[in-house]
Amino acid sequence: MSLADEMQVTLRLPTRTLFEGAATRLFAEAENGAFGMLPNHIDFVTALVPSVLILTLADGEEQIFGIDEGILVKKGHDVDIAIRRGVQGTDLASLRETVQESFIEMDEDERVARSALTRLEAGIVRRFADLQRPKTP
């Protein structure tokens, strides 16, 4: 493998791509602690925990993300990160508020969806039970 100055990072949510581009550094937190990664880091896979993910771009600008649990896969100079939920922030001070607002909103949406699914499942079970009852003339 050749040496590189950048790595291609893709940060994916279940419904869209949150970030895609070149970075010179990455900081994240796994189940066993925080770690940093440079473009020529050894290939590996790790589970991420809810935390702050920081990418340093080629121009020195930092991109900050509040992330939920996920998986990071590094292979060659490509880093693919799949997370359940995530938001991009402008700085660490405002990121906490953004994460709380966004994740609370998502939790409420998920609660409503789970409730609707439970009602649908209960309706299906009742209909199957009605079908299995013997018909009386």
Q: Name the helix (H) or strand (E) containing 11.
A: strand 7-12
* Spatial contact of 2 and 35, defined as CB atoms under 8 Å apart: no
Average pLDDT over residues 14-42: 94
Report the pLDDT value the prediction gives residue 104, as an integer from 0 to 100.
64
Asked if pLDDT for residue 101 goes beyond 70, the answer is no
Asked if pLDDT for residue 103 goes beyond 70, the answer is no
| Strands, E assignment, 31-134 | 33-37, 44-48, 51-56, 62-67, 70-75, 78-83, 86-89
Report the pLDDT value the prediction gives residue 89, as an integer from 0 to 100.
83
Per-residue pLDDT tens digits for 118-133: 888 888 888 877 777 7
Q: Which residue has the tokens 């340093």?
A: 56
Per-residue pLDDT tens digits for 46-100: 999 988 999 999 999 999 998 888 999 999 999 999 998 888 887 777 776 666 6
For residues 131 and 28, the model is more confident at 28
For the chain, list the domains and their CATH numbers: 7-90 (2.60.15.10)
**How much is the pTM?**
0.70
Report the pLDDT value the prediction gives residue 113, as an integer from 0 to 100.
77
Report the pLDDT value the prediction gives residue 105, as an integer from 0 to 100.
64
Asked if pLDDT for residue 1 goes beyond 60, the answer is no
